Chains A and B, each alone.
Chain A
């Protein structure tokens, strides 16, 4: 393979793979899934739903976080935990109403 072809292939590969992950918008409702990523400094979580959608959720002042019916702190959330989230769709923004840690 000629050098310029290697460069163009590497560039195309880089552009296609270096990008971050796109998130999805869903209707208001209750969804179950796995915590994909936690950004504690922004009180933000990414949830991968059972049907493969990736939801980006920024906690608001009214978002409740519970485990076994008890309110818990944000620190309880960790990657890989199963959760049930109730979201309210405002425009294309998803506001988490409640997040329940299932396991």
Chain B
């Protein structure tokens, strides 16, 4: 049965953080594919990448918010909060990079843009997304280290598991 006690404040971050990881990673892959593919489906790949980028960036900002909530709780329990700080800084940088890509992607919607500027903006978006994805991997690695090495946000049951009887 679903236990409402499971949904502690710090757990909201774990519940929300996997959406931007998947969405933004696949948005970058899809955007890259739209650049290298030669077929007529180029625009479809581009549209899919844009959709994933918008959804992923919104999810990233939600994760920043839930991460901030979790920070105040787990920082008092873990042994090395410097890892948490690195995780936080990398997450913010990653989110700003993808937000920059969103802004440029929206600018691309203006039909009046010259083709040369359109091309430059397209490459800038891809570059932002690729650098952002590097930060995404680093942020995820730090987050995994916090959970699996330091038990951040993990419930520690009693030695005899008495609460499960």
Inter-subunit contact A15/B127 (CB<8 Å):
no
Bound complex: CA of A20 vs CA of B88, how far in Å? 8
Q: Which residues of B contact A43 (CB under 8 A)?
A: 72
Q: Is B123 a contact of A7 with CB atoms below 8 Å? A: yes
B101-127 to A contact mask, C-beta < 8 Å, 1/0: 000000000000000000010011001
Q: Are A7 and B120 in contact (CB under 8 A)?
A: yes
For residue A41, give the distance in angstroms from its CB to the closest CB of chain B. Answer: 7
| Residue B31 at the chain A interface, CB threshold 8 Å | no
Contacts of B85 in A (CB 8 A): 20, 22-23, 56
A46 to B134, CA, bound (A): 29
Task: Knowing A11-B127, A14-B100, A20-B88 are in contact, say whether A93-B79 is a contact too (CB < 8 A).
Answer: yes
Q: Report the Cα distance A98→B58, complex, angstroms.
A: 40
Q: How many B residues have CB within 8 A of the partner chain?
A: 24
A contact residues, range? 20 to 34
**Contacting residues of chain A (10-34) with chain B, CB-CB under 8 angstroms:** 11, 14-15, 18-20, 22-23, 25
Which of A4, A11, A42, A91 meets B131, CB within 8 Å? A11
Whether B24 is near chain A, meaning CB under 8 Å from some CB there, is no
Closest residue on chain A to residue B80 by CB atoms: A92
A90 touches B79 (CB 8 A): yes
Query: Contacting B80 at CB < 8 Å: which of A8, A11, A93?
Result: A93
User: Interface segment, B15-23, B36-44, B47-55, B90-98?
Assistant: B90-98
CB distance from A2 to the nearest CB of B (A): 10
**Complex-state Cα separation, A14 to B96, whole angstroms:** 9
CB-CB under 8 A from A15, the residues of chain B are: 93, 97, 131
Residue of B nearest to A42 (CB): B72
A13, chain B: closest CB distance, angstroms = 12
Contact, CB under 8 Å: B120 / A18 = no
Check A58–B82 contact: CB distance below 8 A: no
B-facing residues in A78-103 (Cβ within 8 Å): 90-93
- Contact, CB under 8 Å: B72 / A41: yes
Chain A residues near B120 (CB, 8 Å)? 3-4, 7
B89 within 8 A of A: yes
Interface residues of B (CB under 8 A from A): 71-72, 75-76, 78-82, 85-86, 88-89, 92-93, 96-97, 100, 120, 123-124, 127-128, 131
Which 3 A-B residue pairings sit nearest by Cβ, starting from the closest? A91-B79, A42-B72, A92-B80
Interface residues of A (CB under 8 A from B): 3-4, 7-8, 11, 14-15, 18-20, 22-23, 25, 39, 41-44, 56, 58, 60, 90-93
